[in-house]
Structure 1
């Protein structure tokens, strides 16, 4: 499978809520990073997608565009729309993804997005007041990694 098709397959699976299809595109030694989770390796990165898809319960809407690849790297733009937290605040998150490939799979996946914009939408007033701070980013990463750890304990793979 060429790299363009690999990224297309990854995002088609994401659009369809198919975490297994997404993680099949990942190398076993995958390194994933974003502002919400920090850096995840291997099984952690794969479990993250399973957890997010399951927690979304079909309410997540994903679109993607601008896939570009070279012999060893790739990129894409994607947007997620979903309700967040107990108050079901609507979030629209615009993300730039960068990829590195190895052995026909994605070995590195780095998502970047405007964390301040995300915190304002997802957390309301506290996000608007503190979303720019390292304190808030660290708090979010601690919470998301705790959720991921609990998920992995209940869903060993």
Structure 2
């Protein structure tokens, strides 16, 4: 197994335990993270997002949390994985199954320098937000609105005392 494949495995094993510190340690200081909601730069923001999401899951939905990972492969430059997250969305208390395809790029030190998650935002919004997500989740302006709210929540979380 290539060391970068081991890094991806370590990242998701930590995520399954809701161990955001180990997840953040897999990232390069200048990592770029993107998904359908977030566009983040640097270990502070990307690691902070995982800290926020793991804390919310521990606080409100630990019993509903499950992570399934498959298709992990990597070489010296890049890697990929598929992961299914089963969780309770903290804002609405609704159960969600989010199916995500991840792509990674690695630096010379074997740290993740780019992480891109792709998922069906409309499918996610229908589950997480109910009727508003079903009616509006396919519209780009709605995705931007959800992203802006998520970013505001992250900024508030990062401003809390004790955040690295």
**Deviation for aligned residue 1:86:** 4.5
2:105 paired with 1:100 = yes
2:55 matched residue in structure 1: 54
Task: Give the equivalent residue in structure 2 for 1:133.
Answer: 139
Q: Which runs of 5+ in 1 are unaligned?
A: none
Which 4+ runs in 1 deviate beyond 3 A?
Answer: none
CA distance in 1, matches of 2:90, 2:163: 25
Following TM superposition, by how much is the alpha carbon of 1:71 offset from its aligned partner in structure 2, in angstroms? 1.8
Offset of residue 156 of structure 1: 3.1
Q: CA RMSD in A?
A: 1.2
Residue 122 of structure 1 pairs with residue 128 of structure 2:
yes
- Unaligned residue ranges in structure 2 (runs of 5+): none
Distance 1:156 1:22 in 2: 15
For normalisation by structure 1, the TM-score amounts to 0.95
Normalising by structure 2, we get a TM-score of 0.91
Please point out which of 62, 70, 77 is paired with 1:72.
77
**How many equivalent pairs are there?**
156
| Contact residue 92 and residue 128 of structure 2 kept, 8 A | no
